[in-house]
Structures are given as structure tokens and as C-alpha cells.
Structure 1
Amino acid sequence: MPAKKATKKKAVKRGAKKRTAATAVKYIYDFGDKTDGNSKLRELLGGKGANLAEMARIGLPVPPGFTITTEVCTYFYDNGLKYPTTLEKELKASVAVIEKQLGKKLGAEKNPLLLSVRSGARESMPGMMDTILNLGLNDKTVKALAEESGNEAFAYDCYRRFIQMYGDVVMGVQAVNENDHCPFEAALEKLREEVGVKFDNQLTAENLKELIKRYKEIIKKRTKSAFPQDAYEQLWGSVGAVFKSWQNERAILYRQKYGIPAAWGTAVNVQAMVFGNMGEDCATGVAFTRDPANGEKVFYGEYLINAQGEDVVAGIRTPNPIAKLKEEMPNAHADLEAVRKKLEKHFKDMQDFEFTVQNNKLYMLQTRNGKRTGLAAVRIAVELVKEKLINQKTALLKIPADSISSLLVAVFDPAAEKKAKVLSTGLPAGPGAAAGKICFTAEKAEQVAASGGHAVLCRVETTPEDLRGMIAADGILTSRGGVSSHAALVARQMNKVCVCGASEVVIDYGAGTLTIGDTVLNEGDDISINGTSGDIYAGSVTTAPSEVNQVLSGKMKAKDSYTFQLFDQVMTWADKYRKLGVRTNADSPEQAANAVSFGAEGIGLCRTEHMFFEGDRITFMRQMILASDEKERRTALKKLLPFQRKDFTGLFKAMGGLPVTVRLLDPPLHEFLPHDESSKRELANSLGVDVDVISNRVHALHEANPMLGHRGCRLGISYPEITEMQARAIFEAAAACYKLKKPIKVVPEVMVPLVGFADELKNQVAVIHRVAAEVMEKKKVKFEYLVGTMIEVPRGALTADEIAETAQFFSFGTNDLTQTGLGMSRDDAGSFLGKYKELDIMPQNPFASIDAAGVGQLVEIGAAKGRKTNKGIKLGICGEHGGDPASINFFHQVGLNYVSCSPPRVPVARLAAAQAALK
């Protein structure tokens, strides 16, 4: 808590500073007939509160309520879980506003006001925090509700729901371990069995009274306290529980996954209850203005008759598709269609909204920009432009950059899928193909993923506690729940393959089996799911490239793939607005060609060490390393030269004249030698030397800290013949390209790694220039080339002005710059990074997204100093950060010329670069 406290105090100061004009801080904003807020107050009211106020403002039927701001959450944690002194007065005043508007009173024995209490963070966190419904019910008000509604069963159903929620969320009545069952659910199941009914809504009023009695006994036994009867005690308990849930395990995990700062806090929304469980003319549902799985412009969603909202998203009953509501409640369906159109026109994005129908009257409970798959994000953005609701720039900013990669994921191979037997079909909730081991728990999915395997998390229905397993799994399968269930919602956000509501699937956790008809599968068996069609297969079905890849490789025509057309449109827009160039990290012609098809404008990093491990090359490399003098080294290097020359020629041809940056040998030599005894003997036999020679050389090359040892330019300075061979191979390959029938005017960029001193680069540049002159004279051809360095140690960045006197380009190697700048090993940081993220010491993994405040300063200093000496110096980045959207935004701000990333990340980088320019 102390670590979080410091961060949050900063947030409080920032918030207070913005509002100094006010005589007193306003902690509660009303919505309804009296509406204080709007959608622009998202930071203060959270997404849910801001949009409730906005819907009320534009005249949609929103039950009245109020929002307790995120500033209260911050205050709550900064002050020992206490509230601001003025909050109680504000809260009672806002309750009074609702009471006056509805003619009801909280806690009254006649016309009692009932409330819902729900969280609402700035960014949507579905299912991660707690909710309370039907607040205000007690042993007396429940009788008033029964009389007022004329439906005793309805009233007691609401009361038992409230007791269960309050007992769980506020009073802490929960399962004590994994093998324990939720005590309330266990009591409910037992009662259903006793009276012989299948569903909760079949219980009579007398049944429900008995259930309430048992629920109270559970609370008394487990908490040593009675269920509270005072409505305001219930309200304060619920508000506190929602604030406390901001720091529960699943909320923390979710924030870590999506980079949501703990300092933001959550708002709390208190709203008058409306009831979808009052009878057959009542319903509750969740709907989307478009299909969130594929983006199609259709009214999409589901509902349940005679139910409350939690029933739909919990997946306990499989809901009906929204189209069926047109038959059952035509007026409500027509009202929803009108709301659907109004929401999209106003918010200019696909909306995910919750609604309740009470006695055939529609009420809106929430709207937000809907979670969607990557494919849907792209399609919706493109089609909103076509519909003239938004422009190209807005469309690009609406697509999470990582979403574009979901258009490139594998699908099932059509031939293999045709041969596979469909065991069952569920609801397609997350497109794509996933095959892996059946895992019934989050822990099992994490174990499979950690061992390098593929997992499919199979659950009756998922809950927020399954989040770790959902992150680890390739796909998610549930037997219950609809397209707005927790499984579907989270899967879409994570771009996970998901099939839900597969009712024929019977999962027995105790037996560890998944049964579909006569087929019985055990945990650990292979299963395959198609999140596009909803089909489920036993075994592992072979996958095939995405439609985009198939078009790019010529196996499919562009006109036959709408997915490719969407991809191509977004990439065209991105290229129109981005300023940063996008290159790729590639070491082979195949990788290079793949990257070019994705739009790469050159190679920003060719790692030459990767070329030494194929066939006989590793033997010659080892000969060179084991050589006792320069003459023996040159003999071995001469054997390696033709291989290197061939590799570079292939790369240059694949790139067709686009720039290619070749990094000279970087890793320490010991990485090329065998370390186990059998491999040492095998090498000794192949070289005709004693095994002791091998062992002694391995021992001699051993370093205590090889990452900071004899590697990079230090190797080239110690053994200039290595630099000579590599430079010769590069330049001879370039010369060969100039002499082709259709000449390729290659301008190779030779990159010297690990430079920290200007003289290190000068030493190596002298060798490179000499070899270039020799090759041009021998081959009778003139070509241009550049020589630069990789800035990957802090001293290189801090003395960049001196290094730039010699270098024609810098490429920031942010992988090693992060390690050396933070003093943190990429390979060992996993042992503490989780804790650091949890405590907000380091909100993001610095090896995945650049530490802008620390390592980023080294990049800024290096860029500025380099340009001060050499105004025309070319600046790029070739670490893994080159494919990370947040890092790309930073590199754009610094003013680099290009980023370089792995081939599959090229489209992501193109989109992220455009977004950086537009922001």
C-alpha cells in the first residue's frame, strides 16, 4: 500500500490543481432530470458515469442516479480508507434528488427506493470490480416491494440476490479454497434440488423466503455478524466495497495487462433500480450496435425475459439473441433500434450498452465504446468512414495498433478442417483458430503455456478469477453463456479465439472430463476450436495462413477477401499520415520478402551471427574461434566468406534496392562453441584434435558477465580479420548486384555494434573503408555505402556528438540499452518484474515497452547530440521496442527517422507510426 500511496498522492495534487477555481471540491455528480456531468468528464466520473450523464443529457431513458468521483477513490486510499468529510452530506443530498424525482424513499416501508451500486473506471474493466444490486431491501421493505409490485416472488427474488451479493462483496462470504463451492450458490442449488426445479426463476415466494433464511444463517456463521437492515449502512458498505475492489487481485492483474495506472482510481455509480425480473413483460440484456466479433453492421446482442442484468453476463442461463425480442416484445425492440441509431450517431463508434425492460418500458443502464476483436476494430473504423460518421484520421486513432496483427493470425487449413469431425458448435465470440491442450483451470493453462505448449481454457463459464488462464491460453471454450458473457467480452479485448455457450459440451471438473455426445476428452487431450464459425473438434487441426497472408503470397485474389481489403485500406491510410519510416529485422531472404509484403521499407537490422549456424558454417566458425594464431583464423574465415557473400546477395536481391543495415558480429565467441561433453567430442573428431583442446578453449573464452564482455566492436578490434571478412562479403555481394542483367543499386549500411568510444568506431571504420576500396577496385564497380553504429551502451548515447563525427547513422539498440541503462538483465528480470508491476514501481515491462523516463532519455540525448555534430545523420531503432505502439509514439516524438521490427509487427508499426503523427 505505501508504494501505491505515493503515486496516488501525485494524482490528488494534479486533480486539485485543475480545480482551484472552485470554492469547494465537488465529489458527487447527479444524472437524470438533474444532470451535472457529461462524456468529457471521463477522468473524474469514469467511463460509466460520464456516459450515463451523457445519455441523460441527450434524452435517453436513464434511471436517475449519481456518480461518486475518482477523486474520492484516491482520497480513500491516501487516508487510511476514509472518506472526505463533506462526502456524507453530498451523498444524502443526491439520494434526496432521486427520491424526489421518483416519489420513493430509501429505507421506507412504503414505496421504498432501491439502488444499484457499480464501479466505473476511466477505462472499462469488465467484471474486474464489484457490483451490488437491489440495495435498500430488508425484512420490512421487501414486504413493501411485494405489495407495490403485486408479485411476492419477484420481491423475495430481489432480496435473496441482494443478500448474496452483499454477503459476498461487502461481508466477505466466499469460498475458502479451490475445492470449496460458493456457499450461497451451494445453498441455492440444494434448494432447487429439494423443490425439483431447474432454474432460479421457477422458485416460489415461499421457496425464496426459505432461501433467504439460509443465506442469513450462512452470513452469521461465516462472519459472526448479522445481515444489516439499515439502508444507509448498506449503501456505505457497498460504496466502500466497490472502492476496495479497485485493489483486488483480478483488478490489479487486469490493470497490469492493459497498462491502466493504479493512480486513476475508480468512480462509483449509484442508480435507481429498474427490474427485468418482475415478470414476463420484463427483460434485461446487453447489446451492441454492431457485431463485436467481426464488425458487421447488424444489431447484435442478447437478453433474458424475467431476469436481472447479472444473469446475462454471468452465463448461468444462455440468453436469447436480440432478434428474438422483436417477436416477444416488439415495442421494446423498436425502442432499442431507435436507441441504437442515436447512440452511434452521437458517440460515433460502436456502442456496447445494457438495458432493462420493466413492464414493457425501456431503460438504459450503461453505454460504452464496445470491446471488439481486432478484425471488428478495423472493419468498424473503415465502415464508419464510408458512412461519413468519422474521417480517416479519426478512424486510424480508433483502431488499437495491435489489432491489425489479428488480421494476420492463422486460420484452420480448409482441407484439414474438412476432414475433422465437428463434435459440436457454440457461439463464435472471438475469430481465429486455436488448437491446444484442454485445461480446466487457470493454473493448468499457465503451466502449459509456461512449458511452451498451447492451451485451450475450457470452463462451464468463466469468471474474473479465470483471467490469468485466459491470458495464458490460445483459446477459450465455455459450455454456458452468450456473446456478452464474461468469456466473450474478455476474449474479444484480448484478441483470443473464443467459442462460448456450447450447450452440448459437458464439463466435469471433478472427473477431469469434457464430454460431447459419445466423445469423452480428458484434461491434457488436444482440442481445436474455430472462433469464426463456433465449431469444436477433437484433436489438433492443422492451421493455415490468414487470408491477408494468402493474398500477399498470391494464393488468393484480393477481390475475394474482404479481410484483405480492410487491411489494405487501413495500411494505405496509415502510410498517408505517418512520418516515421518502418523497416524490419530480418536475417534471411525469406524473412525479408515476408516483411516487404507487409510494407517494410528496408532492413534495419540483419544479425550476421544468425547466419553462422547452418550446415558446415558452424564448423568453420568454430575452426576460426579455436585457431591458435591469425593465420589459422584467416584460413577458417576464408571458408566462411562465400557463405556470407551468398547470404548478403540473397538479402539484397530480396530487398530490391531498399536499404539494408548489416550488423557486424555481435555476440561473444563462446556462444558458438559446444558446452556438453558429447558435443565437444563430436567437434574434436570433426576437426581432428584432442577433446582437451576444445575444453581448454571453451574454458579460456568463459566470461563472468559475457553480456558486458568480449563482444561487438571489441571482437573486431581484437581480431580485425573478422571485420575484414564480413565487410568483404557485404561489398562483394553489393558489387554482384550491380552487375546483374537488371542491376540492383544496393546501398549497404554497415553497422558496428556496442560502440561506446569514438575511437572504437574510427578503428573499425578504417578497416571497412579499406576493404570497400579493395572490392570496388577488384570488381571494377563503384557503389555507395554507409557506415554507422548501434547505440546500445549509455556511454555511446552520452558521447554521441563525438561518435557522430565518424558515424553516418545511428541505430539505437534498445534491448541492450535497456539492460545497460537500467542495470537489469532481460533474462533474469522475470523474477521480480511481476512484483514491480504490482507495486507500480515499474508499470510496464521495460523490455516490451520502452522506459521513456529513463532509457528514453538516453535515446533523446543520443539523437540530439548526434544531430548537433552531424545534421544529416540518419537515426533509427532496431530493438524489440520498434514494434511496440507506445514505444513508437515515443520515437516519433524524439524525431527518429525510422523504426525496425520483426516482419509480423511491420503492419502494427505502420499504424502506430500514423497514430503517433496524428496525436
Structure 2
Amino acid sequence: MARYVYDFIEGDRSRADVLGGKGANLAEMTRLGLPVPPGFTVTTDACRAYLATGAPPAGLFEEVNAHLREIEARLDRRLGDPVDPLLLAVRSGGRYSMPGMMETILDIGLNDATVGGLAARSGDERFAWDSYRRLIQMFGHTVHDIPPEEFAHELAAVRATAGPAGPSAGQLRDLVDTYKKIFARHVGHDFPQAPHEQLFLAIRSVFASWNSERARIYRRQERIPDDLGTAVNVMAMVFGNLGPDSGTGVAFTRDPATGAPGVYGDYLADAQGEDVVAGIRNTVPLAELGRLDPVSFRRLGEIMATLERHYRDLCDIEFTIERGRLWMLQTRVGKRTAAAAFVIAAQLVDEGLITADEALTRVTGAQLAQLMFPAFDLTGAPEPLAVGVGASPGAAVGRVVFDSAAAAAATGPVILVRRETNPDDLPGMIAAAGVLTSRGGKTSHAAVVARGMGRTCVCGAEALRIDSERGEVAVGDRVVRAGEVISIDGDSGRIWLGEIPVQPSPVARYLAGELDAEADPLVAAVHRLLGHADAVRKLGVRANADTPRDAGRARRLGATGVGLCRTEHMFLGERRSLVERLILADGPAEREAALAALLPLQRADFAGILAAMDGLPVTIRLLDPPLHEFLPPLAELTARVARAEALGEDPGRDGTLLDAVRRMHEANPMLGLRGVRLGLVVPGLFAMQVRAVAEAAAERVRAGGDPRPEIMVPLVGDVRELAAVRDEAERVLAGVDGAPEIPIGTMIEVPRAALTAGEIAAEAHFFSFGTNDLTQTTWAFSRDDVEGSFFGAYLERGIFPVSPFERIDATGVGRLIRLAVAEGRAARPGLTVGVCGEHGGDPDSVAFFAEAGLDYVSCSPYRVPIARLAAGRAAVAPTTGTSDSR
């Protein structure tokens, strides 16, 4: 019979798949002898069974009761005992951290009888009734979906009439009666008095919360699989709301915003459970605990050091102090900003806790991309409107919105402004450029979620008086209304009215060669980790570059060549008229004249790129798109000709162009006369381009350079196409004196080419996968059409975890790539294979290409550092089991 429940003492952190991250870490702390309240974990297997059938698996609650009796025996307290009741906390805990996305219910076991026992044992009747009202509020919302505003409204009314010390015991007793009536009105029966019924319903509701809207949105954002399920952790309650010698807090073993070592976190005296992350009251810095309770503070510091050494990473810790006794409620490897990730990884290497290889697995390409974003240029900046807590770094500018729906519906950048955020605000936080709250600190819901998503966030700006219903926020006498632009700095916490200009980030300046590698700790960390990535990676990184300027920029950013030079981009602007001459040519003589006019222009283009990449390979793709793309659109020409004819005028050249466009019009040009087909049916076109490449290379050789051009034939589907183009190209190359040896290869971008790669390799010196077109042709998608039509629905329904144009489809397209690599190299040992689609800059795709045995990836210049880091991670990831997605 399957087992579904494990006591904390029975597990360890290696069992996170079964116990969830929270349960596994509670078990690990218990094994380390740290002060964890006794408890047990209901496994993710039980959740998956519940989600599949709608009912708990057979025998689950018998197991729960058995483990509950062990807790009762250990504490000499019973659930439901009216004299000395055991109370329980029920918390979710998936394999991956999803802060605030699922449910927690505290104070399970309170009822009309046990509330008196709690009051007697604690000596605090007010505390007991406050705990009871918390249970009804949490239970009602979580188990029965009672709108939280129903309870919040009544609580606010009581607090408004209470004295400075807060509501009295009598007021809270009356509030409990009011809450019960709200519960009965919504649910149709009274609040359950049986503690075991409360517990079982709470467990079921945590299971069900796995599929809540906000949890699904968060998983989609963080690329967490939907089929993992959540574990449920049940532990004995400890209380931080028993007076000034009690409290609750969140601690980080290093600053999660910057990575700096020290004491970081928030503490809230006389508070329970979720009060800190909910931002209900503004916290005090964790260091203040040293004054309030030096004994607990010292013990907490010892535990923090133990956990960081044990986990060898930044740890995020939740704790409660109950009348001077410290209890650990949770630990996990903490979420951090991109900057902190790099700084901490470098520090841990220096401290001997991890290796340089492990450090690479602690940072991601996505984080490096965040660090390349610009920051505010504060030269001449006005005085800030207000200052809060910088909770998640970055520079964000946008129009003010006051609710999640407005942020999600906005068409431009917005700043989501709230008193405090809650899990239901997740869609708006995803859509917003930044998040600003008047409550909460660095461990509030807004801060934790924003850091995880890489969003700029400022919390705890107490000077802000936010009125969401009226759509305005006041600071002193200044009122800012919805739609006005503000700027927020997630580093300093400053908030400005209007738009503050931005400047390049230090990391971007370092990567561009404008800053020394030791400019600051962050730049130094990026330098070290990128350097190690370059040292260990087996995958080369080239750039897609069509101009000398792009090629030079790519080289400065670390590219080791050009993997894709698109020659069609050289035919735009003023040169378009020359292409028109080629298209409209009436006979061989006019066509040759047009090609002769294009030749020196192409030669100069190639010479500049070869000079910028001297000594490195430059893969030049022959003309790929249909020729009609160089002509005015059909609708535009038709209108111009019709207008001229209506006025009785001769349409002239427009009429000739219209005839040509109509002649070449294709219903689906992506699958029409383009690529190698164009080179075979337009005499001299590819020959002109090959000659331009050869003459440019010869010119560079005479100038003392080391040009290394490669010619790539696009859209080949049959080896005979490539053979015909190669024969013509080699004749041209043989006629150019002084040209170096120039290899000729092909793009693999249609399924047939991948399936016949062994044949094609006989005529190709190299392969380069054009993954954009290979994805389109494999899926039968036209990218420009489908992304705006049904992709949103596919992502929403989980058919795609992420767009196949963003991350390589490893199952389908990836299988074609593996097949082509294997058969190509079997036919031509040593065949060089690369990829030049945009997937070449996506970190997850880079990991796939490395595993599939490619020699290099090519991406846009600005993504070159990201690809370098991802390639380094891929080289060490097989020994660490890490992924760039989370």
C-alpha cells in the first residue's frame, strides 16, 4: 500500500520531489537538531492522486491521524482538548518555491470550547480570541472561497473603535461571532467545530490550491511543470503574537538584493505567521531584534551560519519567537536578484563552500540579461517624491495603475501601485515594469515575488497615501493620479514624479569594454564567472551580424566569429532601386548590368565585416527571401496605379512594378521562390554574391589580413540543389586570384534536409541549423501569423509551456537536429555544425544544442554574453543537475 505521510524526522532535503521543498527542508533542519516544531508532511503523491480523482487517496486520513497521535504524545497535548488544546498550522510546499501562490491555514483546532483552554494556558484571553478569528478568516477564504474583503471590512470597523492597544478581548469575541455569521451566510452551515474535520478540509484545500489561477500563472511565468503537485506540511502551532517578548520574522543569510554579507531581514513583534510577508504592519530591520531580544538574536545568528554552511548558499529563513523561545518554521535556498546571484556565487567560491563549476550553476543567462538593462541617470534629477525600501533592483518608468487588471490590460509600461500586494496581484506584477507599495519590507509578498521575476520593486514607502478606489496616491500636498508617469529605483527605493532618463548599466559598460573588470563587486563577479564559462565551455559562440558595426560590437562582447551574415539586409535603402533593376531586367544584358552594379557594393560590405572579424570565421548566407520583398507592396502599388489611371495619367514605372509584383505574387511566399530556388532560377544572382565574397577576401589578404569567410546556401531540401549551386560557386571562386579557401555549406531549415542530412553532407563543408524556419516548417506554423492569433490560447491551456520560437522544441524539432547531426557526421566525419536561429541566444536552447553535440551557436550581438554563460553552464550542468529555467 502506498505511503502518503512522513514525520519530519524521517525525511531529508534530497526528497523534495516527494516531500516538497518546504517539507524536505523542515526534515533537514529537524535532522540537524534545530528547533523545529514537531510535525509531518503529506506527500506530493497524495496531492496528485487527489487532483486526478477529486478525492483523497484511500487510507490518507488514517495515516494523518496516526502521525497526529505521535505529535500529541510528544507534546502531551491533544487536538480538541478543551483544557490544553494542541493547535496546528497547515501549509503548502511544492517542489519549487512559489511564494504566496498557494494556501496556509493557521490555528487549526480552535472552536467554541478550545478557545477557552487556549486563553487559560496562555493567560491572555485577547490573544485566544484573536487566534480564533484568524482561523475563521483563513479557513473561510481558503476552504470556501469567502471573499477576504467580507472579513477585512469587519476587522477594520473593530480596529477603528478600539483603543491604542488594539481591540479588547470582548471586541474580538464579538468579532468571532460576526465572522461565524459571515461564514454561515456564504457556506450554508456553521463553522465546523470538530478539529479533525478542520484539519482534513484544510489539507484538501491546500491540494486544490495547486490549480488556483494565481498558482497556474506563477508556474507558467517561472516554467514550473503543472503536474508536480504540492505537499502539505502539518506542524504544531507556535505563537509570535503573545506579547512584546514574542514575534515573527524572515531572515536572509546575505542581502538578497545585493549579495552583501550581513544581517538582513524583517522582524515584527507580537505578530503571527503570515503578518510579515503580508505587509499588514511595517516591520523593523532584523538587526533591531538584537536590542529587543539579544539571546534569541544570537541564537538565530548561529542557526543562520549553520544553515548557510550546510546548504552552501544564501538561505531564506522564517522563524517565530514564542515568549523568548526561538522556533524555525522554514528554510530554503533564497530567491535573490540577478546582481546578488553573481556576487554571492563569487563569494561562495572565495569562501571555499563551492567550486567555480558550481558557481556557474548558481547564475543564469536570464539573470545576466537583467544586469545588462540600463539604470537611472540621476545627473540633475529632481528631489524624489518619496523614498521607500529598495526591494528588487532596476530602473522602472511607467504610468501609474492601481490594480492588477489595469496593469495586465495596459499597452505601455506601467507601475503597479498598491498598499501591499497579495497573490491575486500576480498577473499585474507580471505585466508591470515595476511595483510600488506603501507597506511591507524586503520580505513582503511584493518584494519576494518581484525579485523572483526580475521586476523592479520599491516597498514600504510610508509617505504614500494610496486610494485605489479614487485612483490616486497622495504624498504631502501632491496628488498623483492614474495615468501619470512615475519613475522608481529598486536599488535606492527612491520614487520620482515624471520620467528620469536612464544610462547603461555597469555590466553592459564592462561587456562593451568601457569599464575595468574590478569596477565594483558585481562587475568583478560577472567577469570571473564569464571567464570561467569561457574556459570550460565546449560550445563556440558566434554572432548574427550584417554590418561591420554589428560585427565589431559582437567581437567586443566575446563572439568568436559571425555565424550568420544575412545578405538581404544589404539590399535595402538606396540599393533597393538596383534590385528593382534586376527584377525588371528585360533580357540577360540588363540583368548582368544590374548585377554588375550590385557587385562592388556587396564586396565593400563583406570587406568591412571580414576586417571587423579578422582571424575569425564569417558565415555569409546567400540571398534568402523572395525577390518581391524588395518591391513595394501589392496593395500600395495597386492603389498608386489606380489613382494615376483615374486622373488619366500614365502610371509609368509604377505600372511596370505592379506587373512584376503580380507576376511574382505567392499565396505563401515563405514556402515559395526563395533561398536556393531563387539562386537556381535567377541566373547570375548567387554567382555575383560569391564573387563579391571572394574578391573582398582577396582584398583583405593583400592588406595583410586573415579573412575566413564561409558561404552558406539557404533553404536546401535536396542534395542536388546544393550540388548545382556549389558547382557554380567553385567555378567563380577559382577565377578570383588571391582568395583564400572558402568552404561552402548549407542551412538545415526544412525537415527534408534534416531527414536526408547524410546525402547533403556529401556536398556540404558545414551545416548551420536555421531553427526559426525549421520550427515553422516542422510545426506548419507561419510565425508572423500564429503568434498573434492562437499562441496565447496555447500557452494559457498548457499546450505550450513556452513558445517554440522562444525555446527550442527539443522533442520534435530537436529530434530532427539530432538526426541531422548524427547522419551528417557519419557521412562526413568532422563536419562542423552550428545553429544561427534566434534560439542560439536562449539559455535553455543553448543547453540543448550543447548536449546535442553542436560546435557553436550564433545569436544577436547583445545576447552573446548570455550564450557564453549558458554554454559554460551546459558544460558543467550534467554533473550538477541544474537548469537555467529556475
TM-score norm. by structure 1 comes to: 0.92
Residue by residue over 1:100-137, the C-alpha shift from the partner in whole angstroms, topping out at 9 and shown as x without a partner, is 11111111101111111111111101111111111111
Could you tell me which residue of structure 2 aligns to residue 672 of structure 1?
630
Measure how far apart 1:751 and its partner are. 1.0
Map residues 829-848 of structure 1 onto 2, 5 A cutoff. 829-830=786-787, 831-848=789-806
Measure how far apart 1:677 and its partner are. 6.3
Could you tell me which residue of structure 2 aligns to residue 4 of structure 1?
none
Could you tell me which residue of structure 2 aligns to residue 147 of structure 1?
120
Change (3 A) 1:470 1:630: farther
Given the alignment of the two structures, is residue 43 of structure 1 paired with residue 50 of structure 2, yes or no? Answer: no
Measure how far apart 1:406 and its partner are. 2.2
CA distance in 1, matches of 2:705, 2:520: 33
Q: Specify which of 250, 265, 284 is matched with residue 320 of structure 1.
A: 284
Could you tell me which residue of structure 2 aligns to residue 897 of structure 1?
855
Measure how far apart 1:838 and its partner are. 4.3
Change (3 A) 1:579 1:698: same
Could you tell me which residue of structure 2 aligns to residue 435 of structure 1?
397
Could you tell me which residue of structure 2 aligns to residue 272 of structure 1?
236
CA distance in 1, matches of 2:683, 2:449: 55
Map residues 392-791 of structure 1 onto 2, 5 A cutoff. 392-415=356-379, 418-448=380-410, 451=411, 453-614=412-573, 616-675=574-633, 689-740=652-703, 743-774=704-735, 776-777=736-737, 781-791=738-748
Could you tell me which residue of structure 2 aligns to residue 9 of structure 1?
none
Measure how far apart 1:196 and its partner are. 6.2
Aligned residues of 1:674 and 1:680 also touching (Cα < 8 A): no
Change (3 A) 1:468 1:293: same
Q: Give the counterpart letter for 2:701 in structure 1.
A: Y
CA distance in 2, matches of 1:101, 1:585: 66
Q: Give the counterpart letter for 1:475 in structure 2.
A: G
Q: Specify which of 81, 95, 101 is matched with residue 68 of structure 2.
A: 95
Residue by residue over 1:687-739, the C-alpha shift from the partner in whole angstroms, topping out at 9 and shown as x without a partner, is 99343323333233222112111111111111132212222222222222212
SS in 2 for 1:828: helix
SS in 1 for 2:817: helix
Given the alignment of the two structures, is residue 803 of structure 1 paired with residue 760 of structure 2, yes or no? Answer: yes
Measure how far apart 1:313 and its partner are. 0.4
Deviates more, 1:830-839 or 1:469-478: 830-839
Change (3 A) 1:205 1:636: farther
Q: Specify which of 155, 158, 179 is matched with residue 191 of structure 1.
A: 158
Q: Specify which of 21, 26, 34 is matched with residue 3 of structure 2.
A: 26
CA distance in 1, matches of 2:248, 2:800: 41
Aligned residues of 1:421 and 1:538 also touching (Cα < 8 A): no
Could you tell me which residue of structure 2 aligns to residue 117 of structure 1?
90
Query: Could you tell me the percent identity over the aligned residues?
Result: 49
Aligned residues of 1:670 and 1:701 also touching (Cα < 8 A): yes
Deviates more, 1:649-658 or 1:851-860: 649-658
Measure how far apart 1:833 and its partner are. 3.4
Measure how far apart 1:86 and its partner are. 1.9
Aligned residues of 2:512 and 2:557 also touching (Cα < 8 A): no
Change (3 A) 1:672 1:226: farther
CA distance in 1, matches of 2:150, 2:592: 76
Q: Specify which of 163, 169, 172 is matched with residue 136 of structure 2.
A: 163
Q: Specify which of 773, 779, 785 is matched with residue 828 of structure 1.
A: 785
Q: Give the counterpart letter for 1:193 in structure 2.
A: A
Given the alignment of the two structures, is residue 854 of structure 1 paired with residue 812 of structure 2, yes or no? Answer: yes
CA distance in 1, matches of 2:233, 2:757: 53
Change (3 A) 1:676 1:486: farther
Change (3 A) 1:646 1:782: closer
SS in 2 for 1:556: coil
Map residues 347-358 of structure 1 onto 2, 5 A cutoff. 347-358=311-322
Aligned residues of 1:407 and 1:567 also touching (Cα < 8 A): no
Measure how far apart 1:54 and its partner are. 0.2
Aligned residues of 2:695 and 2:739 also touching (Cα < 8 A): no
Could you tell me which residue of structure 2 aligns to residue 62 of structure 1?
36
Deviates more, 1:550-559 or 1:390-399: 550-559
Q: Give the counterpart letter for 1:705 in structure 2.
A: N
Change (3 A) 1:549 1:55: same
Change (3 A) 1:541 1:732: farther
Measure how far apart 1:814 and its partner are. 1.1
Cα root mean square deviation, aligned: 2.0
CA distance in 2, matches of 1:196, 1:786: 85
Aligned residues of 2:694 and 2:739 also touching (Cα < 8 A): no
CA distance in 1, matches of 2:800, 2:636: 43
Change (3 A) 1:890 1:551: closer
Aligned residues of 2:634 and 2:662 also touching (Cα < 8 A): no
Q: Specify which of 178, 189, 193 is matched with residue 225 of structure 1.
A: 189
Measure how far apart 1:511 and its partner are. 2.1
Residue by residue over 1:528-548, the C-alpha shift from the partner in whole angstroms, topping out at 9 and shown as x without a partner, is 111111111111111111112
Could you tell me which residue of structure 2 aligns to residue 172 of structure 1?
145
Measure how far apart 1:470 and its partner are. 1.7
Could you tell me which residue of structure 1 aligns to residue 177 of structure 2?
213
Aligned residues of 2:158 and 2:167 also touching (Cα < 8 A): no
Change (3 A) 1:196 1:610: farther
Could you tell me which residue of structure 1 aligns to residue 328 of structure 2?
364
Aligned residues of 2:418 and 2:436 also touching (Cα < 8 A): yes
Unmatched segments (≥5 aa) in structure 2: 645-649, 879-886
Measure how far apart 1:770 and its partner are. 2.2
In the alignment of these two chains, the number of paired residues is: 870
Aligned residues of 1:681 and 1:691 also touching (Cα < 8 A): no
Q: Give the counterpart letter for 1:161 in structure 2.
A: R
Could you tell me which residue of structure 2 aligns to residue 12 of structure 1?
none
SS in 1 for 2:105: strand
CA distance in 2, matches of 1:75, 1:556: 56
Change (3 A) 1:101 1:834: farther
Change (3 A) 1:644 1:36: same
CA distance in 2, matches of 1:593, 1:701: 37
Change (3 A) 1:588 1:238: same
Aligned residues of 2:733 and 2:739 also touching (Cα < 8 A): no
CA distance in 2, matches of 1:42, 1:267: 9
Residue by residue over 1:603-644, the C-alpha shift from the partner in whole angstroms, topping out at 9 and shown as x without a partner, is 111222222223x12232333334444433333333333332
Aligned residues of 2:441 and 2:459 also touching (Cα < 8 A): yes
Deviates more, 1:80-89 or 1:125-134: 80-89
Residue by residue over 1:480-516, the C-alpha shift from the partner in whole angstroms, topping out at 9 and shown as x without a partner, is 1110111111111111111111111222222222332
Aligned residues of 2:634 and 2:661 also touching (Cα < 8 A): no
Measure how far apart 1:682 and its partner are. 8.3
Aligned residues of 1:172 and 1:223 also touching (Cα < 8 A): no
Residue by residue over 1:825-883, the C-alpha shift from the partner in whole angstroms, topping out at 9 and shown as x without a partner, is 32333433344344443333211111111111100111111101111210011112112
Q: Give the counterpart letter for 1:568 in structure 2.
A: H
Unmatched segments (≥5 aa) in structure 1: 1-23, 176-181
Deviates more, 1:470-479 or 1:133-142: 470-479
SS in 2 for 1:209: helix
SS in 2 for 1:419: coil
Change (3 A) 1:678 1:519: farther
Q: Give the counterpart letter for 1:83 in structure 2.
A: P
Aligned residues of 2:541 and 2:856 also touching (Cα < 8 A): yes
Aligned residues of 2:61 and 2:200 also touching (Cα < 8 A): no
SS in 1 for 2:145: coil
Q: Give the counterpart letter for 1:126 in structure 2.
A: P
Change (3 A) 1:605 1:484: same
Measure how far apart 1:280 and its partner are. 0.7
Residue by residue over 1:301-350, the C-alpha shift from the partner in whole angstroms, topping out at 9 and shown as x without a partner, is 00100011211101121111101111111111111110110000111010
TM-score norm. by structure 2 comes to: 0.95
Aligned residues of 1:680 and 1:694 also touching (Cα < 8 A): no
